[in-house]
Structure 1
Amino acid sequence: MTLFPTFVNATKLMKPHFEKALESLPPVTFMITDGFLGWTLDSANKFGIPRLVYYGMSAFTTALTISATSLLRTKLSDDEYFQVPDFLWIKITRNDFDSPLRDRDPKGPHFDFIMELIMATSKSYGQLVNSFYELESVYVDYCNRISSPKSWCVGPFCAVHEPSKEKQEKPSYIKWLDGMLEQGKQVLYVAFGTQAELSPEQFKEIKIGLEKSEVNFLWVVRKSIDEVDDGFENRVKNRGLMVTEWVDQREILSHGSVEGFLSHCGWNSVVESICAKVPILAWPMMADQHLNARMVVEEIKIGLRVETCDGSVRGFVKWEGLEKPIRELMEGEKGKEGRKKVKEIGEAAINAVKEGGSSWQTLNELIHELTERRQV
C-alpha cells in the first residue's frame, strides 16, 4: 500500500491510449470508470460523454466520511468515541478511518490524490453504488442532498448473476462442504480479502482461536500450506479445511452448510454475505472496512465483532477474542438474531434487482435519462 499513490498516478499515462480507443468506438452514450481513475473525466469531457463513477463503497461509508471530516481535524484521540454530526445515533472513532482521512492535518501525495479524485467525482454525471435503496435510504438521501454527483443504487450486483448451466467438476473445497452438509454440520467460512496482510503473530492467534472454538471451518489463506502447517492442519483435519487456491466466494457463501462468515468487511464481501443470507463476524483491517463493520454490527445488526486486546478497533486480536465470538455467531443467541435479520435483508436485496424492484427501476431511470440526453 505504500506504493499506492505512485501506482494510481502512473495510470494517468494510459490517457492517450484510452482516448484513442474511445475514438475507435461507435458513438458512446455514457462511460463507467473506477473512481480512482479521475483522469478519465477529462477524456469524457473531450468526447462529450457523461462519466459515471464507481468506488465499490456503501452510501453509509460515504455519508459518514463527509459528515465526520470536520471532527477528524480536531484533537480527538484515536479511540475516543464521538457522535457523527448528521447522524447522532451513530458513534465512531478516529480509528474507524484510514490515513490520510483520519489525520488532523492531512497532507502529502496520497491526500493530494484523494482531493483530486473528489474534485473529479463532483464534476461527473453520477455515482453508481453496489447497494439497494431500502438498505441505505437515509445515507443515499443525505449524499444526494449535500454532495454531487447523484448516487444511484443499482445493486446488489451479485444478486443478478445467473449461474452457469454447464456441468463442471466441483472444486475440492465444494466437495468438502458437500460432505459437511451430508453430515448435518454447520461451517464457518473464513476469508480476509486480497489486500490485508496478517502478521505471523496474528496468524498464529487465528489458528489457536479456530482450533479452540471447536467449530467446523473453511479458511482461505494467502500462504502456502508449508508456511502454515505446524501440525495445525492435522489436528483439525476432521472439521477444518485450509485453502490456498482462488475460490468462488459466492459459491461458498451460498452453500447450504455455511452458516457464518469471519470477514474483513470489504463492501463486496458484505453484500455477498447479505445476498447469501449468512451472518458476519466482523474483523475490519483497512480502507472502508471499519465503517462497514459498524454498519454490519450496529446499524443493520447482521453480525458480531471480534474482540481486540485493548478495545481499540485496530488492536491485536488474541485467540480468546476470536474463540468467544465465533462460538456466539455459530451457536449463540446473538448469532441466531443475526441469522434471522440477514435473512430478511437478504430477501429485500434479491427483490431489489428483480423486475419492478428499487434497483431495477433506478437502473431503468438512469438508462432512460442518459439515452434522452444523448438524443438531445
Structure 2
Amino acid sequence: MDSSACAFPETHVVLFPFMSKGHTVPILDLARLLIGRCRGTAVTIFTTPANRAFISDSLSDVVTAPSVVELPFPSHIAGVPAGVESTDKLPSMSHFLPFVTATKLMRPSFEEALGRLNNVSFIVSDLFLGWTVESASKLGIPRLVFDGMSNYARTVCQVVGENSLLAGPQSNDELFTVTYFPWIRLTRNDFDEPFNLPDPTGPHLDFIIEQIIANSRSYCHIANSFYELEPLYVDYWNRHCEPKVWCIGPWCLVEPQRLGLEAQSKKPKWLQWLDQKAASGKSVLYVAFGTQAEISSQQLREIAIGLEKSEANFLWVVRKGGSGSDVEDGFEERVKERGMVVREWVDQRKVLSHDSVKGFLSHCGWNSVVESICAKVPVLAWPMMAEQHLNARMVTEDIRVGLRMETADGSARGFVKWEAVEKMVRELMEGEGGKEVRRNAEALGGAAAEAMAEGGSSWEAWDRLFDEIGAARADSC
C-alpha cells in the first residue's frame, strides 16, 4: 500500500491488544497499516513479557518496526495458572474470567509507561481492556475501541438486548425475529451463557456490562471490516448507538514488507504439501477451529470419520494439548495420500490464499471469516463459542458466502455426526450449493480489495477519522 501524508504531524499511536492470538493478530495488521499509510508515524505496542516474542516475530517484516513496551502480568492470581499470559495457553475457557479480570492490575504499570511517551495521538485498546479508558482520560488521550467483532454481531447483540428478545422464546431452539431486521431469525442457542438465560446474572455478565460502559465513554469503535460487507448494520449502529463505528479494514489485506526473509527460510511441511496438491490439480479443504475451541474426543472422532469418507483432500489443524487435541491411531496413515493433520501453528492467511485451497471448515471467528472473504474461499460454518454463532448466521444467511454444518438434532449447538460432515464437505467442495457460495465469496473478496485500495471506502474512512481526531486535538490545545 502506498504511503500518504498524515492527517496531522508527528503521529504517535499506542496499540494495546488483549492477550489472545485472535485479538492480537489483527492489531498487528493495524500497526502495519498505520506505518504504511503515514510516513513518520510512530507506533508503540503494549504487551506482557511472554507475548513479546510473538509480536516481534510477527512484525519482523516491518522496516520501521514499532516499539514494544512490556508490562508485567499479575502473578499468583487464583484461577490463572502460573506463567500463563495468553488465553490460548489456558487449560480451558473456564479460566477466562479470572484471567481477563487480572489485567486490571496492570493499570498502574500501564499509566506509568504511557506517561513517559511523547505526543500520543490516540490509543487503540481491546474491548476486554475497558479499564484503559480511565487511563486514557486521565492523560487526555482519545481511546479507540477494538472489539474484534462484525458489525452484524455487534448490532444484533445491541438490538436483542435492548428489546429483551431472549426472554420470549419458550425453548432454546425456538426461532425469534430480530426487531428492525425481520429477515434475521435467531434462537437462544445463538448466544452463550449467561446471555441466553431469561434473567441473566453473574460475574460474567457483570464483566461484560463493565466493558460496555467503558466503551460508551470511548472516542469510537474501529472495525476490521469494510462498509460494503455490512452496510445496514453499520448505518443502524451509527444512527442509534454510541460511540460511532468506523470500518477501516480488512487489515489482513495490508501487504507485508518484503525483506527477503521468506526466500531464506525453508517452507514448512504443510506448505510443501499444499504445493504438491496444487501441482497435481487437487482442491483442498482447510479445517481449523481456532486456538480456543474445546472439542470432545467423541466429536473429534466423528470429524475424522466424516473427512475420511468424504474423499476430499484436506489440511486439518488440531489444537495442540488440551481436550480434543488428537485423532485416533491409524487415521493419518489411512488418509495420508489426501489428508494432512497439523499440530503446530500455521499461517492461516497463507493457507487460505494458496491456489489449492477451495473451502474452509471453520468455527467462524471474525478473523477467520474476514480472511476467508479476502482469499475468496467459501466457508463451511461450524460455530463453537462467543459470537461465532452470530457470525455463522451472517456468513450463511446474510452475505451467503458459506454453508452451515448440520447437527444431529437441528440445534445450533447440537452434536455433529460423521454423516453430516461427509455430506456437507462434499456439498461445499463439489455441490451446487458450494458453487453458489464460492461465486459470492469471489465477489465480496473483490469488494474487500477495492475498499482497502486508495480511494476505497476503508481508505477514505481512515483519512476522515485521522482528520477528526487531529481537529479535536488542535481544538484542545
- With the shorter chain as reference, the TM-score category is over 0.9
* Equivalent in the alignment of 1:54: 146
2: distance between equivalents of 1:171 and 1:164? 18
1:332 aligns with 2:426: no
1:130 aligns with 2:229: no
How do 1:17-166 and structure 2 match up within 5 A? 17-69=109-161, 70-162=164-256, 164-166=258-260
Work out whether residues 146 and 223 of structure 2, in 8 Å CA contact, stay in contact via their aligned partners in 1. yes
* Equivalent in the alignment of 1:197: 294
Deviation string 1:64-122 (CA, Å, 9 cap, x unpaired) is: 11111211123531000011011001111110011122121111111111110010101
> TM-score under structure 2 normalisation?
0.77
SS at match of 2:209: helix
Select between 22-31 and 155-164 the one with higher mean Cα deviation: 155-164
Instruction: Give 1:228 shift.
Output: 2.5
SS at match of 1:269: helix
Instruction: Give 1:281 shift.
Output: 0.3
Distance 1:356 1:172, change over 3 A: same
Q: How many residues align?
A: 376
* Equivalent in the alignment of 1:248: 347
User: Which of 307, 323, 339 lines up with 1:210 in the alignment?
Assistant: 307
2: distance between equivalents of 1:356 and 1:193? 34
1: distance between equivalents of 2:326 and 2:150? 35
* Equivalent in the alignment of 1:344: 443
Work out whether residues 131 and 153 of structure 1, in 8 Å CA contact, stay in contact via their aligned partners in 2. yes
Read off the aligned partner of 2:101 and give its amino acid letter.
N
2: distance between equivalents of 1:15 and 1:150? 26
Work out whether residues 277 and 339 of structure 1, in 8 Å CA contact, stay in contact via their aligned partners in 2. yes
SS at match of 2:140: coil
Give the percent of matched residue pairs that are identical in Structure 1 and Structure 2: 60
Read off the aligned partner of 2:160 and give its amino acid letter.
A
1:270 aligns with 2:369: yes
1:261 aligns with 2:360: yes
Moved over 3 A (4+): 223-227
SS at match of 1:12: helix
2: distance between equivalents of 1:227 and 1:308? 22
User: Which of 386, 394, 399 lines up with 1:300 in the alignment?
Assistant: 399
2: distance between equivalents of 1:76 and 1:353? 44
> TM-score under structure 1 normalisation?
0.98
SS at match of 1:228: coil
Work out whether residues 284 and 358 of structure 2, in 8 Å CA contact, stay in contact via their aligned partners in 1. yes
Q: Which blocks of at least 5 consecutive residues in structure 2 are unaligned?
A: 1-92
Deviation string 1:49-73 (CA, Å, 9 cap, x unpaired) is: 1110001000000111111121112
SS at match of 1:18: helix
* Equivalent in the alignment of 1:186: 283
Q: CA RMSD in A?
A: 1.3
Select between 280-289 and 162-171 the one with higher mean Cα deviation: 162-171
User: Which of 94, 97, 100 lines up with 1:2 in the alignment?
Assistant: 94
SS at match of 1:198: coil
Work out whether residues 178 and 184 of structure 2, in 8 Å CA contact, stay in contact via their aligned partners in 1. yes
Instruction: Give 1:147 shift.
Output: 1.1
Instruction: Give 1:160 shift.
Output: 1.4
Deviation string 1:281-307 (CA, Å, 9 cap, x unpaired) is: 000010010000001100011111111
